[in-house]
Amino acid sequence: MPKKQGKIYLIGAGPGDPGLITVKGLEAIKEADCIIYDFLATSRLLEHAKKGAESIYVGKKGRFESVSQEEINALIIERARKGKTVARLKGGDPFIFGRGGEEAEEIVRAGLAFEVIPGVTSAVAVPAYAGVPLTHRGLSSSVTFITGQEDPRKEASRIAWDRILPGSGTLVFLMGWKNLPLIAQRLIESGWAPSTPVAMIRWGTLPKQVTISGRLDNIGKLSMEKDLKPPVVTVVGDVVGLRERLNWFESKPLFGRRILVTRALEQAGEFSRLLEGQGAEAITFPTIRTLPPSSWKGLDGAIKRLSSYDWAIFTSVNGVKYFFERLRKSDKDLRELKGVKVCAIGPMTEKAIMALNIRVDLTPKEYRAEAIIAALGRKNIKGKRFLLARAQKAREVLPVEIKRLGGSIDVAASYRTVRPSIPAGGLEKLLLNGGIDIVTFTSSSTVTNFLSLFKKAEAGEALKNVRIACIGPITADTARSHGLNVDIMPKEYTVPALAAAMADYYRKK
């Protein structure tokens, strides 16, 4: 039987913003056994890889080359010949100055199957994120994409400079940072007005995007003054003038802000996406990790007598997750909750319960344990039995107060939180050098675990110029008890509200 050969996907990863990957490209990444990716293909996309998939970085940055093109070609073919599905992840679009054609030719010579999945090219996306439409009625009806890596002084240039005449519409140069003065000179010599608007955009589509606007006769000088470095996309033409009115991305309230996300890794993604939607750069630094409880004895006992409770109370999404996973492993299902009323501490916990097709009977208006007590206090709970599925270590407000009100309660540890072994590395230096604008805390544990990375005096010094954002009053009180000033806290104690509160804070400033 002939040996099975793999398949190769040449995938355009887009210009940087991970949200610009195509649906088809994302599906290929999820399918791949091996992902071979470039410097400009964001590593965030690797989060979608299946468990056990191999990832190989072959990125090239400027004149520094980690792996030659020939070695990349050989690597793609070697993995596919082993029967693997290979995702060759390239920045932008693989067939626009991406050497994807060269790789495809080598694959064909090797007799292997391949598929090209086009990507959003930086030539189009980066100007759009800078507020520069490449065509516009009355200003430009054509676009020319030109490599900027070819030296315009070469005698045998493959670029027809004599045909790039004034009135040729919009010009987009990719990778032209080093040759910009020569490019500008060549265009002026070809008849382009020295006053022609030019925009240079670095790290386009990312929160660290930087845009410099000028003219052909001064853009080289401006680039040097601003110390602009690659990767850069350069746009030449009258459409650049529209940026003043259409600059939507850099006008976002959190644009350019670097925000530290300290919540658990499995929950950080949602928060990061919300922050990035407001223009921020989210830096994931989990200071908390959820694990099963030290013993299942308490929860297993509660599950056996589940139908005997009047109320089941859940105080976190994690509590819901671990409780119902254990319920299924106990060979039981949702029918065990028949007749049991369900209480959720807040809307996110409520959403997690409702996703299991379970009705929530009570969600307090204020998302904290005290509010649950206030709501239950208005009901006749004397003699009622309660189950509280929560973290192994938590505040004792609910158990104490329910007993005071005449109810009985079983506290079942559904999960526990620990501090992951994370190297602090250059975090303190990053904080001291102004590399972080906001540190976010979504629970008291994230506060204490984060501060445990520093000596007391060091923490105060590292955070003195950093804004502190807390999800709610309990977390904020913990932060203040450690000497931190809390700058931002939403009125609604949820992650979406916290992201919105940070945006409002900078919008007002």
Residues with catalytic roles? 38, 60, 175
- The span from the CA of 21 to the CA of 107, in Å, is 23
Count Cβ atoms below 10 Å from residue 34 Cβ, excluding itself. 22
- The span from the CA of 160 to the CA of 21, in Å, is 33
- The span from the CA of 463 to the CA of 219, in Å, is 38
- SS3 labels along 229-289: CCCEEEEECHHHHHHHHHCCCCCCCCCCCEEEECCCHHHHHHHHHHHHHCCCEEEECCCCE
Please name the amino acid found at residue 422.
I
- The span from the CA of 297 to the CA of 303, in Å, is 10
Cα atoms found within 13 Å of the Cα of residue 111, Cβ hemisphere only: 3
DSSP state of 486: P
Decide: helix, strand or coil at residue 418: strand
Q: Following DSSP, what letter does each residue of 374-388 receive, concatenated?
A: HHHHTS--TT-EEEE
Query: Phi/psi of residue 24, each to 5°?
Result: -65, -40
- The span from the CA of 414 to the CA of 388, in Å, is 9
- Scan for tokens 């105060």, then name that residue: 460
CA distances from 213 to 144, 210, 432 (A): 19, 10, 31
- Residue 218's contacts (CB-CB under 8 Å, 6 or more residues apart) are none
- The span from the CA of 275 to the CA of 77, in Å, is 39
Contact 49, 21 (CB under 8 A): no
- Residue 120's contacts (CB-CB under 8 Å, 6 or more residues apart) are 12, 14, 15, 20, 22, 92, 93
CA terminus-to-terminus distance, the chain: 70
- The span from the CA of 468 to the CA of 459, in Å, is 13
